[in-house]
Amino acid sequence: MRTLRFIGMALLAVVLCVSFASCSDDDDEPQNPSDLIGTVWTGTSPYTNYEIEVNIKNDSKCIVTVYEPNSTTLYDQQECSYLYSETTGVFTCEYGNDKITGKIAGNTMELTDQFGTYTLQKQ
């Protein structure tokens, strides 16, 4: 009886010492460049209130569409060149004479332009 109690306590001690690890959420990891093709990212710049849409066409081109504040009226649309690093998630885009920089992590694209930083969500 004493031996069974000792074995039971030892087993309980071992079980209590084991820690459980969970996997991190994949939504924060950079995406594979081929997975970006065909995706659309939208959001509103809090600095200008313009609605911004980035449509990734292929591995080097995207369409940036900008709508008037609180409207569906088109302000500007340009096909732009972009670079993306799958290891860091860094995204850079040439929009007219401006360089937009940012980072893609999961379903979020955080961009910085001449006005400030804002977030777009994958649709």
16 found inside a domain: no
Give the global pTM.
Answer: 0.71
3 found inside a domain: no
Which residue from 39, 16, 14, 27 is spatially nearest to 89, judged by alpha carbons?
A: 27
- Count of domains for the chain: 1
Compute CA 30 distance to the chain's CA centroid, rounded to the nearest angstrom. Answer: 7
52 found inside a domain: yes
Percentage of residues in the chain having pLDDT higher than 70: 75
Residue 104's domain spans which residues? 31-122
61 found inside a domain: yes
CATH number of the domain where residue 39 is located: 2.40.128.50
Q: Rounding to the nearest 10 degrees, give the CA dihedral for residues 92, 60, 81, 67.
A: -80
pLDDT, one tens digit per residue, over 41-91 is 999 999 889 999 999 999 899 999 999 998 889 999 999 999 999 889 899
Q: What pLDDT is attached to residue 119?
A: 93
11 found inside a domain: no
